[in-house]
Amino acid sequence: MKKRLIPHGLHILDTKPDEEELVDYLLGVLRIDREYPSLLKLLASCDETDRTDNVEKHPETGSLLKSELEDEAKNVILSIIKKGNVPSYLPDGYNEFVEGIVSNINDSKEAEGLLKALDGKFITPSRGGDPIRDPEVYPTGRAMYAFDPRQIPTVAAETRGQQAAELLINSYREEHGTYPQRVGIVLWGFETLKTGGDTIATILALLGMRIKHQKGAWFKNIEVIPLEVLGRPRIDVTITICGIFRDTLATHIDFINRAIRRVTRLEESPEDNYPRKHYLEDEEELGDLAMARVFGPAPAEYATSMRTMVENGNWEDEEELVESYQDSMKYAYQEGNITESSEAFNRALSRVDLVTQERDNTEYEVTDLDHYYEFLGGLARTIESTRGEKADILVVDSTEEEVQVEGLSQTIRRASRTRLLNPSWIDGMLKHEFHGAQKVQDSLEYLMGFAATTGQVENWLFDEAADKLLFDEEMRERIQENNPYAAVKMGEILLETERRGYWEADEDKIKKLRDLVVKMDAEVE
């Protein structure tokens, strides 16, 4: 948790980071290998002891060493930005690289850019994206664009995607002793644009395929990795997309479908080629839809109706959420065709052994956006209903130096500790009148959303939320002062969570909470 970047409240137009925030941001940038090696790696290997080996191979001491390295790195960053004595082991040009990032941040002119836009004047274009992954998004205040979608997946994304695929497969095999025959994948548009196509590369790697690099090629070509080189079966996929992916990356829907069509037609044993195996099993009944692997909302829609049901409490049991998700996501996207087919969607879900989604930036944890429980949780809960048992859920985390995978319960636990239950995060939010407490309330609501869709929210998280947000008188009064409606809503969410069976709390605590909600509600009126 210590090395996780935690947002310092919400962004305020034209506000520059203070020194502490700037150092934290630069540490996030410099811990990643790019044109220069990671600053942590430079520090670890700069002296006679060479701490690199201890960090990588000894987990019991490696985390302590990493904390030491991060503290040292912060001192180095301070020296650079204050133009003090800089270590001699830094590569040529390193100082200028860091100073350039700082200069670009200070050159941000957001209000000026907004006023120019409103006045119909020219605004200098610039690439948008995650500022940790791509610091060239600074200075802000320019007209953002993504980048040429024909370059997706990029070479860097291909490497990360291959790593993610192997980690997913190995994690599943360690738990079950077999390969997953089919992986359910959530694929978002903004994530794809920010990462350069990590998840698309993961899909190709699972299928046992890779990009065939050609100089100057306008479109990516795919080549099949021979089974003897791959060393494992080809893993089947079921992909769920959002409307933004459909609208911005339609060419890549066709790209994925071409890969699926090609792999299912390989003359290989079905036991070595799970996409082919499942296609052959379903072809007689489903026809060409037996090859459908990409599903999403109707052409005019962008998400599911399930999220609104959770927000309004307008549901009695989880099967209603499942039906809502199925009804929203039953559209098969194939090359040039969109077909409404509950049968094809349910058949595809019934074989999924493992569900996954990538978390690609430090700005949002899975409890910061309702779309995470809507898409990842909704997919997992619908698979459970369709196949009669739960599928494993693993989150691919590409926010650090190395790609990692972890169980959803671990992801939720960390997200709650760094956000909802973290006084520093709450303090940052409450600096923003009304909207700050609303964000805290949202995080609690999304936690309940995950409880409803996955059952992977531990009981103590709701205990801690009640204790820290409402039963702590000082914190409750701060939240009420910021947004009294949000304070009442938090109490109502906790009561709903208990009523639905996702939180086991003793009778005294529930009575205390009910009385508190009544009291806060009366004070609002």
Name the phi and psi angles at 447, rounded to 5. Answer: -65, -45
Task: Look up residue 458 and give its two tokens.
Answer: 């531990």
Task: Look up residue 431 and give its two tokens.
Answer: 């600096």
pLDDT grade for 50, boundaries at 50, 70 and 90: low
Choose the weakest-confidence range: 50-54, 139-143, 444-448: 50-54
CB atoms within 10 A of CB 124: 11
pLDDT grade for 149, boundaries at 50, 70 and 90: confident
Determine what percent of the chain is predicted with pLDDT higher than 90.
70
pLDDT grade for 394, boundaries at 50, 70 and 90: very high
Tens of pLDDT along 362-384? Answer: 888 999 999 999 999 999 999 99
Average pLDDT of the segment spanning 392-403: 92
Tens of pLDDT along 63-117? Answer: 667 788 888 889 899 888 888 777 788 888 888 889 999 999 999 999 999 999 9
Which three-class secondary structure state does DSSP give residue 391?
Answer: coil
pLDDT grade for 260, boundaries at 50, 70 and 90: very high
CA trace torsion 421, 425, 428, 429 (10° rounding): -60
Q: Residue 72: which residues within 8 A CB-CB, separation 6 or more?
A: 43
Residue located via tokens 């636990």: 413
CA distances from 328 to 187, 242, 472 (A): 16, 11, 41
Q: What is the pTM of this model?
A: 0.82
> What is the three-state SS of 168-184?
HHHHHHHHHCCCCCEEE
- Supply the pLDDT for residue 221: 83
Best CA proximity match to 367, nearest among 32, 6, 3: 6
- Supply the pLDDT for residue 263: 98
Which three-class secondary structure state does DSSP give residue 393?
Answer: strand
Tell me which long-range contacts 386-391 makes (C-beta under 8 A, separation of at least 24). Answer: 386/346, 386/349, 386/350, 387/349, 387/350, 387/351, 387/352, 390/455, 391/184, 391/352, 391/353, 391/354, 391/355
CA trace torsion 336, 129, 184, 372 (10° rounding): -120
Determine what percent of the chain is predicted with pLDDT higher than 70.
93
Mean confidence (pLDDT) of the chain: 91
Interhelix angle 250-264/198-207, nearest 10 degrees: 10
Domain extent listing, the chain: 19-145, 150-411, 419-524
Tens of pLDDT along 419-449? Answer: 999 999 999 999 999 999 999 999 999 999 9
Whether 311 contacts 445, CB under 8 Å: yes
- Supply the pLDDT for residue 361: 84
Whether 183 contacts 235, CB under 8 Å: yes
- Supply the pLDDT for residue 28: 87
pLDDT grade for 494, boundaries at 50, 70 and 90: very high
Whether the CA torsion 413, 415, 419, 424 is positive or negative: it is: positive
Whether 381 contacts 321, CB under 8 Å: yes
